[in-house]
Amino acid sequence: MTLFSYEIFDAVARQGSFNKAAQQLHLTPSAISHAIAVMEAELGFTLFNRGKNGVTMTSYGASLYPSIRGLEKGKVKLGAFNSVCAGLLPQILKSFMASYPQIEVEVYQGTYDDVKEWLRTGQVDLAFLSATCREEFNLTELFREPLLCIVPQDWPEPPNGIMTPELMNGQSFVVQCDATDAEMRQFLKKYSISTERRCHVIDDQSNIAMVEAGLGISIMPRMLLRSCTAAVKIYPIEPEEYRVVGLAVQRPTAMAPAVEQMFRHIVDFCRQMDPQLL
């Protein structure tokens, strides 16, 4: 059984009605009824007495219920890289903690390589990762965001306000280390763009500051530039390229209940969020 099955059990027990539980969980009454029937088949006993005036727990259901309520507690360790940590995670954590105040969450921020190592060694249970890490981990895709080109304020206006690989070829670039800048390096390699690399930095803020100072141009995901106030120009790129962000779990087939709840919450949040947040 999944943690969501337990949530359904809890909702029916609290509401005393399949219809009211369905309203609470934004499901249909038939979906609630089916989920309870599946649980009962797996457990081998009846959880609820059905009647005209609603449902009541059987003695078996009542004996199981305290254990179900205890599943709301736990601890989740979450790894994330800079842009997600600054631009997305605060909203996710705020909504999660409002729904599950008894689940403790620890956040670890680092580079792609840091987060991969933490997930590999079990220091974190869940991790936001770029699709560039897909070969090593099974990622559940959350969203994709376009890569944009940032240039100094005195940069000549490109035709139609769009940067192309041809316009970037041979230019000075501000780059980050491999552990934080995989998408830019893939882009440069894909289009055989020759660059002069004067600045090698390790964080997004330094990247933007160097471009603002006129030391080169750069390519960054849109989330990083959404609230940028630096004196730089930001242009779309054609052909369009994207960064794909996904969620990886340390033990996909053996998630603790709290970890599974956080996993589902993140996936649901990202699939329902306004694309303008990216």
Least Cα distance to 175 among 188, 161, 191, 164 occurs for 188
- 154: CATH: 3.40.190.10
Non-local (6+) Cβ contacts of 154 within 8 A are 214
Chain centre distance of CA 269: 8
Both 149 and 137 in one domain: the answer is no
Please return the burial class of 53, using the count of CB atoms within 10 Å of its CB with bins 0-12, 13-18 and 19+. Answer: exposed
Both 158 and 211 in one domain: the answer is yes
CB atoms within 10 A of CB 110: 19
Residues facing 247 on adjacent strands: 128, 140
Whether the Cβ atoms of residue 27 and residue 41 lie closer than 8 Å to each other:
no
Residue 40: what pLDDT? Answer: 92
Both 167 and 83 in one domain: the answer is no
Identify which has the larger pLDDT, 102 or 179.
102
Residue written as token pair 């794909």: 244
Residue 145: what pLDDT? Answer: 93
Both 233 and 150 in one domain: the answer is yes
> Which residue segment(s) compose the domain that 117 sits in?
74-142+244-277
DSSP string spanning 46-63?
--EEEETTEEEE-HHHHH
Q: Report the domain count for the chain.
A: 3
CB atoms within 10 A of CB 188: 20
Give the mean pLDDT of 153-163: 96
| pLDDT bucket at 135, cuts 50 / 70 / 90 | confident
Both 160 and 238 in one domain: the answer is yes
pLDDT, tens digit, for every residue of 55-75? 999 999 998 888 776 666 789
Both 236 and 167 in one domain: the answer is yes
Both 178 and 214 in one domain: the answer is yes
Both 51 and 121 in one domain: the answer is no
Both 114 and 163 in one domain: the answer is no
Give the mean pLDDT of 91-113: 92
What is the 8-class DSSP label of residue 40?
A: H
Both 150 and 185 in one domain: the answer is yes
- The structure's pTM equals 0.74
